[in-house]
């Protein structure tokens, strides 16, 4: 899944509307819908706030594994 699909899935699972999420992010619902559809890229500040609102990690949204990263 792409990050926009994960955000939509988690939002719907928690019975949160796009309007509620947009109000929390202080943007219009149409703008938020464009993030979920993948039309516009999600700014990092919104990613952080979505994580806080939904109670999920950015790693999960970005599809990163929960495993430790190898040292370089």
On whether residue 68 sits in a domain, the answer given is: no
On whether residue 72 sits in a domain, the answer given is: no
Detail the DSSP E strand segments found in 1-61: none
Give whole-number Cα distances, 35 to 5, 44, 57, in Å: 10, 12, 18
Q: How many domains does the chain have?
A: 1
Flag whether the pTM goes above 0.75.
yes
pLDDT per residue, tens digit, the chain (72 aa), is 799 999 999 999 999 999 999 999 999 999 999 999 999 999 999 999 999 999 999 999 998 876 666 666
- Say which CATH number the domain at 49 has: 1.10.260.40
On whether residue 51 sits in a domain, the answer given is: yes
Residue 29: which domain range? 3-60
pLDDT of residue 70: 65
pLDDT of residue 65: 75
């Amino acid at each position: 899944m792409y990050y926009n699909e994960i955000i939509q899935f988690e939002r719907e699972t928690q019975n949160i509307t796009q309007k509620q999420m947009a109000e929390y992010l202080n943007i219009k619902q149409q703008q938020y819908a464009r993030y979920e559809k993948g039309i516009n890229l999600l700014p990092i500040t919104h990613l952080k706030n979505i994580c806080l609102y939904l109670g999920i990690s950015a790693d999960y949204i970005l599809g990163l594994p929960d495993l430790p990263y190898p040292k370089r």
